[in-house]
Amino acid sequence: MDKKYEYGTDENRALLKRETENLLGFGHRFPAPGGGSAWLDNEGNPDPSHGIQTWITCRMAHVYSLGTLLGHPGSEELVDAAVEGLLGHLHDDANGGWYPEITWDGKPAPDKICYAHAFVILAGTSATLIGRPKGPELLEKALDAYNKHFWDDEIGLAVDTWNTEFTKLDPYRGLNANMHTTEAFLAVADVTGDEEYRRRAGRIIDHVVDWAANNEWRIPEHFNEDWQPDLDCNRDKPDDQFKPFGATPGHGIEWSRLITQYALSSDRDDAGRKALVDAAEHLFNRALEDAWNRDGTIGLAYTTDWDGNPVVTDRMHWTLAEAVNASATLAKVTGKQEYKDWYARFWQYIDEYLVDHEKGSWFHQLDKDNHVLTTVWPGKSDLYHATQATLIPLLDPAVSVAPALKASLAAKEA
């Protein structure tokens, strides 16, 4: 194995640094007219056909907040451009909250979606952390809307989708939105010191661990309004962009890192923390047993059925980014060589198949033979997953990425 892929080597740290700069350099053209982020095409140019999407805008605000901390030129202005859109035409001033997206000429899409609002919180925490003038306003509005409409304190989970006016709640419940809510809540706790949000993240995690432990560590993704798993959801549309049928191994991997982060930062006793890290290891290992190299070619299948058989065999870039984050985190926390070995495999795969060494950024979707596809993720929409994968392996696994990066840089200067 080339040392540049190996966990903890100087060569790997150099690779991570190069990739961070590659990614940050690729995204500079994202600002849309009036603020917000365009969806980027294969060369990093705005693709107006995808509109101005709230979640993409939030991700770019977060990424260039990381860029600001790193001293990447132009990052502060890019954060401000994203925040301008979030406080401007992406925000529904009449009904509160955020539209999922608006068209290039300003027409809003219907509904209010938890997934997008979780990312608004993340953008608000990052912009606040780096001292952008509108960051605190964005975070305050995001938490207000989220707490009012999405957080169900009785059960300790988030609901998913309202109509535009917040008068009718869809019966669907989903874990994807709750996963990014967990990420956002941990960031709020780390940035503001409000530990209530960490406790909320723990409540979500307890549900997820329980569901997974009772389903051979394959996490149910879709639920009805009573939070009963709907294991047949989208069986007829297995590659749905946000609600694919079956288990999503990449989410099992992503949850494993978030669960570990929570375990390390929570006020639970040693036994409670150990149980959570054990659960994280189960999720990580189940995902790879089910999906890695299962269909005769290298890579991680997007989805499996409930027996662990691959269904959608496409390779999504975000699953490898999260695999890097989780393997590095588990390597650091457990000290086990197996996670270091996985980390090296993942980075070799990323470098050989996902990084676009010609035009920049990462290809977002490949087929099972690792040829570029555009059916679910055309172009290179944003930089969120890939950029975090170049930073999280170097940072404190108990702390959200932006405050962990800030602390790491401050320690180096001290």
Distances (CA, A) of 59 to 14, 54, 123, 125, 316: 24, 9, 7, 12, 17
Say how far apart CA 67 and CA 74 lie, in whole Å: 9
Q: Please choose, from the candidates 59, 55, 14, 44, the residue with its C-alpha nearest in 3D space to the C-alpha of residue 386.
A: 59
Cβ neighbour number for residue 2 with a 10 Å cutoff: 13
Q: Is 91 an annotated catalytic residue?
A: no
Q: Which residue has the tokens 């290992």?
A: 285
**CB burial readout 30-54, b (16+ within 10 A) else e:** bbbeebbbbbbbbebebbeebbbbb
Read off the tokens for 128: 């606040």
Q: Which residue has the tokens 């990425």?
A: 401
**DSSP summary character for residue 365:** E
Q: Is 385 an annotated catalytic residue?
A: yes
Say how far apart CA 205 and CA 275 lie, in whole Å: 12
Alpha carbons within 13 A on the beta-carbon side of 280: 29
Say which residues have a Cβ less than 8 Å from residue 385's Cβ, sequence separation at least 6: 317, 318, 321, 322
Catalytic one among 62, 251, 317, 364?
251
Q: Are 406 and 81 in contact (CB under 8 A)?
A: no
Which residues are the active-site residues?
251, 385
